[in-house]
């Protein structure tokens, strides 16, 4: 049984991290500096990892930090540099019809919000969750979800080879 203080602390923690994430996400899609956008994305990803912890998914959180922030963001920064991103603000990073995105996103959020609230409403997550161990995850991987795992390994192989082939100079 988790105590009431822990629950409150969790809620506060969630709210703060959530707000940070949202602001960062907004900055990603609105900033006029590509490098800044990458850095804001790092903030979002970190916030996501923190949320994972709150969701009792420590392994995933760690993996997120290692893979996403460690590798993917580095890749992004490499890509940005290699494509001569301007140091400092850049004009003209948005499409001419960027205003269309607002109502679309708004509409989409509206739809999802209505659906979620009407379905889940006041449902509480279990306060004393079962801890999911790494062993359990690996059992899942090498058990029921073996085939997707193999598919995934092929994808990664293809990605490696593809990336090499595509980025070759000759």
Partner 1 sequence: MMLAATETLSPLTGGWFLNNVWLAPVVPTIGFAIIVLFGKRLPKKGSEIGVLSLLASLVLASGAALQWIQRVGSAGESQFVSPVVRTWKWWQAGGADFTIGQHIDGLTVVVLFVVAFISTLVQIYSLEYLRGDRRYTHFFAALTLFSAGMMAMVIAEDMILFLLGWEIMGLCSFMLIGHWWEDGANSRAALKAFFTVRTGDMGLLVGIAVLFFAANEWTTSNLGLSGFSIRGISAWALSGDPNSTVILVAAVALFIACIGKSGQFPLHTWLPDAMAGPTPVSSLLHSSTMVVAGVFLVARLYPVFYTGLDILGPSSNVIMVIAAITIVIAAALAFVQTDIKRVLAYSTVSQLGYMMLGLGAGAWLPAVFHIFTHAFFKACLFLCAGSISHSASHHSFDMKKDMGGLRKHMPITFAAWTVSTLALCGVFPFSGFFSKDEIIDNVGGNGYTFFMIVGLGGAFLTAAYMTRATYLTFFGEARGASAGEHETHGDDAYAEHATHSSPHESGALITVPIAILAVLAIFSGLFNATPFGESWEYLKKWAEPRAVVVAEPYAGGPGASFVITVPRAAEGDDKSPCGIATPVDGVCYAPKLNHAKFKWSKAMLSLAIVFAGIAISWMLSSALYGRRDRRLVGLTQRNGLARAGYRLLANKYYLDDLYERGVVSNVAGPIARAAYWFNQFVLDGILHGVARFTRALGRFVYRDIDQRIVDGAVNASADATKTVGATVQPIQSGRVGHYGALLFATAAVAALVFVILYT
Partner 2 sequence: MLTSQFLLLGAVLFCIGVYGVIARKNAVLVLMSIELILNSVNINLLAFALRNGSADGHTFALYIVAIAAAEVGVGLAMVLLIYRNRRSIGLDELSEMRG
By the criterion CB under 8 A, which residues form the site for partner 1?
Answer: 95, 97, 100-101, 104-105, 107-108, 110-112, 114-115, 118
Quick count: other Cβ atoms within 10 Å of Cβ 67? 12
With 0-12 / 13-18 / 19 or more C-beta atoms within 10 angstroms meaning exposed / middle / buried, residue 41 is buried
The reply to whether 62 sits near partner 2 by the rule CB under 8 A is no
Site string for partner 2, 30-59 (x = CB under 8 A): ----x--xx--x--xx--x--xx-xxxx-x
Q: Which does 54 bind (CB under 5 to 8 A by kind): partner 1, partner 2, none?
A: partner 2
Comparison of 67 and 104: residue with beta carbon closer to partner 1: 104
Closest CA to 43 of 26, 63, 58, 67: 26
The reply to whether 69 sits near partner 2 by the rule CB under 8 A is no
Which residue of 5, 87, 123, 170 would you call a contact of partner 2, by CB under 8 A?
123
- Nearest 10 degrees: CA dihedral of 42, 45, 51, 55? -150
Q: Which does 28 bind (CB under 5 to 8 A by kind): partner 1, partner 2, none?
A: partner 2
* CA 73 – CA 43 distance, rounded (Å): 11
Run of H or E including 139: helix 134-141
Comparison of 79 and 89: residue with beta carbon closer to partner 2: 79
């Amino acid at each position: 049984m988790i105590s009431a203080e822990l629950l409150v602390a969790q809620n506060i923690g969630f709210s703060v991290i959530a707000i940070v994430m949202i602001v960062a996400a907004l900055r990603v899609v609105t900033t006029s500096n590509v490098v800044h956008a990458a850095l804001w994305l790092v903030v979002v990803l970190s916030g996501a990892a923190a949320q994972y912890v709150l969701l009792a998914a420590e392994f995933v959180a760690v993996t997120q930090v290692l893979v996403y922030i460690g590798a993917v963001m580095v890749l992004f920064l490499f890509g940005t540099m290699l494509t001569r991103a301007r140091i400092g603000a850049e004009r003209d990073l948005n499409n001419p019809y960027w205003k269309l995105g607002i109502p679309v996103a708004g509409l989409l959020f509206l739809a999802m919000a209505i659906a979620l609230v009407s379905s889940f409403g006041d449902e509480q997550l279990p306060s004393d969750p079962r801890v999911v161990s790494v062993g359990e995850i690996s059992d899942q991987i090498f058990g029921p979800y073996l085939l997707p795992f193999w598919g995934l390994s092929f994808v990664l192989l293809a990605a490696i080879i593809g990336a090499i082939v595509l980025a070759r100079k000759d």
